[in-house]
Amino acid sequence: MTNINTDDPIKFHDGSNHQFITSSGSVIRLRNTATGQVQDMHIAELSQQAAGLPRTFTEHIRRFETLPQKHKTAAMTMADHLEEIETGVNPARAGRREEYDVDRTTQNERVAAKVQELQKNGQKASRATLMRKLAAYREHGTSALADGRAHRSDPPMKNIHPDVFEALCTVIADQRNRSTGTKSRIIDETAKHLVKWRGADAPSMPSNATMYRYIDRLTIGKHTTGSASTRRSLANRPERVFNTRTELLPGNEVQVDSTTLDILVKSPGGAPVRPILTVLFDRATRLVLAFTLRLTAAKAVDHVALLAQALTPPQNRPDNSEFRSMVQRMNADVPLLTADERRDWERSRPFVHPRCIVMDNGKDFISEAFRAAAEMHSIDIRYSAPHTPTSKPLVERNFGSIDSLLIQYLNGYVGRSPEFRGYQVEKEELMDIYALHELLDDWFLKFWNHRPHAGLRDLLDPSIVLTPFQMFTAASRVTSNLETTLTRDDYIAMLPTKHRRVTDTGVVVNHRQFDSDELGTLRNTLSDNSRRKGKYEVKLDPYNPFKAWLPKPGGGWIECALRNGAANLYPHLEDRDFDLNDTDEDADEDRRNVAAVTAALSGAPLHTAIDTAPDDSSPRNSLDDGDDDDVAVYALD
C-alpha cells in the first residue's frame, strides 16, 4: 500500500495543494494551502483525488496466476532464495545455514554466498541481477520475479505489410456470396490482387504458413472456409451491440417454423419420404406447445390446426386411443406410451396461451386463415426480417435437439447432409407417418418437458439448470391471469373441413366411409348451404383418421366412426388423395374454409373477403424468403 507523509503538501488532480490537519477514524481534515478552506474527506475519496501516488501494480498478482507452470515454479524457487538472504531461512529447506545467518553476516556476504550457490547449481546469476530481483521482491512480492518475457504478447499481425493486409482483407470480404473455397484459394487471389493493384511495386507475399496464420486470425467467426449459408447469415448481421432479451412470461413470445426431418418414413404409396415438421415453441419455458407432421409442405389450414392444438389440452380433444393402439400394432418396434401412462403424463402437461407468435414470411404463415385464427384468440403476429433465421433462433435450435436426442436413434435416419447418410437407408424397417407423429407427441410430453435445458437457469444461482416444466411452474406462481382453454367442440370447429352429402351409408371422404347412428335425421337430406349445393361440412383430424364430425342440428358435433378402420390407415395427405366427387372448386374452398369457420366462431368477419384474391403488392404476400424454412443448428446445448 502507498503511504503519504502528512508533513508534505498533498496535491490533487485539479492542481490544488492541501495540508493535513488531523484525522478521526477514516475521515481526515485538510486545508487548501491557496484559499485556506478546510474540508473533511474520507480516506477512500483521498485515494481517488490525490495525484502523484506511486502505482501499486496489483495486476502483477492476477497476471502471475495466468503464467505457465514452469515460470511460476521458477519465480517461487527464486523467492525462497531471496527470503533466505533476507531472513536467513529458506522456506523450502529445513534448518538454517551459517553463511546466511543474519546475526553473523552482512547482506553483501549473503548475496555473494547465494550467487556462488546458484552458479554451482548451474544457474546464471550475478550480483547485479540478484540485487535487482531482491529489490523487486521487497516491493511487489513473488509475482515480480516471473520472467518478463512470459508476460509479453506481441500482436499476431505485427509484421504484415500494409498492402498485403489490405489485399487479404479485401479478398476475405469477397468470399461472402461465393461458394466456399480453401485457404490456398484465398492466398492465390490475394497475390493476384496485389499485382493488379500495385503492379511492379507489389510487396512480396509471406510464406504460406504465415499466410495461413493471418487467414485464421482474420476469419475468426466468419465461416470463410466453412458453411456458405452460415457465412451469408453472419454477414447480414448489423454492426452494433446486440441486446439480450429474456422472456419471463410463458407465451409472451412463441416462435414457429418448419423443417424437413432427417428421417425417412413410409408414404401412402410405400415410397420412403422425409416428413416436414412444424413446431410452435415458447421462448420463456422452451416448451413445445404444438406441432404438425406432414409429407408435403404445410398450408394455412395446417397452421390453423397447429393453433387448435396449442389452445386445446389433450383432455379436451376427441379420444384417439383406438387409433393409437392400431398404430402400435402396425409399428411394433415403436415404443409408444400405453393409454394409462399417457393419461398420467397429460395431467401434468403445461398449458401456455400464446400471446405473440414470431414467424417468417412464408405464404402459409401470412395467409388470411392463419391471421384470422390468431386474431380471434387475441394473438399478435410478428414477422421476422427476410433472410434472417436468427429472428427465431430457439425454434431453429430446437430442430437440432430433436434430431440429436431422438431422430438419430430411429430407423430411417439419413444424417444432416448427404455426406453423413448411411448405405441404403431406405431399405431399413421404416415406420409410417402416424407412428412418428405419435412417438414425437409422447417424446415431447414425457422427455422434453422434463429434461434440464441449458437455456433455463436459476437467476440467483446460474449453476442450477431447470426443466421446461419447472420453469413453467415457477412462472405460473407469479402470474395473475388465468387463461382458459378451448373445449372439445371448439377444437373440432378448427379442424380442416370437407363438404359431403349424407347417404344411407354415411359420408365418404378420401375413400374413407364414416357413419354414426346419430346421422339418421341427416341421411339423404340437403343442408342449408346452397353455395355447397346442400352438402354438409365434415371435420377431419389428419392425425386421427378413424373419426369424422358433422354439425349437430341442435348444436355441437356428431362423431362418426370409420368403417373398417384397420384397412384405411395410410392415406395421410389430403392433397395426394382424390375423390370422384371432388372438384377444383372443392379444393379451393378447402383452403379458405378454416378461415371462415374460425372467424365465425368469434362472430367477427374477416378483414379481407374470402373470395377476393390478395393484392400481390401487399408486403404480407411477398415470396418466401427461402433461407428461413429449413435451417437447423447442430451445436450442443
Is the confidence at residue 447, as pLDDT, over 90? yes
Helix (H) or strand (E) holding 557: strand 557-562
pLDDT at 272: 92
Mean pLDDT of 512-536: 90
- Model confidence band, residue 60 (pLDDT cutoffs 50, 70, 90): low
Of 298 and 213, more confident: 213
> Rounded to whole angstroms, what are the CA distances from 181 to 173, 233, 280, 411?
13, 17, 37, 35
Q: pLDDT over 90 for what percent of the chain?
A: 37
For cell 371432388, name the residue. Answer: 582
Q: Which candidate, 513, 489, 491, places its Cα nearest to that of 503?
A: 513
Contacts of 27 (CB under 8 A, 6+ apart): 40, 41, 42, 43
pLDDT at 627: 34
Q: Which residue has the higher pLDDT, 254 or 390?
A: 254
Strands 497-500 and 536-540: antiparallel
Q: Which residue has the higher pLDDT, 510 or 623?
A: 510
SS3 label, residue 453: coil
In the prediction, which pLDDT does 558 show? 94
Instruction: Quickly state the pLDDT bin for 57 (edges 50, 70, 90).
Output: low
Nearest to 298 by CA among 362, 350, 246: 362
Q: How far is CA 581 from CA 309, 399, 501, 512, 528, in A?
A: 30, 39, 10, 13, 19
CB-CB contact of 289 with 281 (8 Å)? yes
Alpha-carbon gap, residue 570 to 266, rounded angstroms? 9
DSSP three-state, residue 264 = coil
Q: What is the pTM of this model?
A: 0.67
Residue 5: pLDDT band (50, 70, 90) is confident
Backbone φ and ψ of 335, nearest 5°: -85, 85
**C-alpha cell at position 442:** 409422447
Q: Which of 424, 402, 426, 266 is nearest to 330 (CA)?
A: 266
CA distance 464 to 576: 49
Quote the percentage of the chain above a pLDDT of 70.
84
* Interval 96-115 mean pLDDT: 90
**Of the listed ranges 161-175, 459-473, 591-605, the one predicted with least confidence:** 591-605
Q: Of 469, 423, 471, 479, nearest to 447 (Cα)?
A: 469
* Rounded CA separation 503/522 (Å): 8
Instruction: Kindly indicate the confidence band of residue 62, based on its pLDDT and cuts at 50, 70 and 90.
Output: low
607 pLDDT more than 70: no
Residue 206 to residues 89, 161, 198, 199, 217: CA-CA distances in angstroms?
55, 9, 16, 17, 15
What is the C-alpha separation between 220 and 183, in angstroms, rounded? Answer: 13
Per-chain mean pLDDT for the chain: 82
CA distance 72 to 141: 13
Return the pLDDT at 30: 92
Provide the 10 A C-beta neighbour count for residue 542.
20
Residue 283 has pLDDT above 80, yes or no: yes
Mean pLDDT of 42-70: 75
pLDDT band at 634 (very low <50, low <70, confident <90, very high): very low
In DSSP terms, which residues pair with 291 in a beta bridge?
Answer: 279
Predicted confidence band of residue 609 (pLDDT cuts 50, 70, 90): very low
Decide which of 333 and 483 is more confident.
333
What's the confidence (pLDDT) of residue 622? Answer: 34
Strand pairing class (512-515; 356-359): unpaired
d(CA 536, CA 534) in angstroms, rounded, equals: 7
Q: Which of 447, 459, 469, 456 has the alpha carbon at shortest distance from 352? A: 469
Of the candidates 346, 358, 313, 360, which has an alpha carbon nearest to the alpha carbon of residue 626?
Answer: 360
Consecutive H or E run containing 27: strand 27-32
Q: pLDDT digit string (tens) for 204-229?
A: 999 999 999 999 999 998 899 998 98
Residue 605 pLDDT greater than 50, yes or no: no
Q: Which helix (H) or strand (E) holds 23?
A: strand 17-24
CA 157, CA 165: separation in Å to the nearest integer? Answer: 9
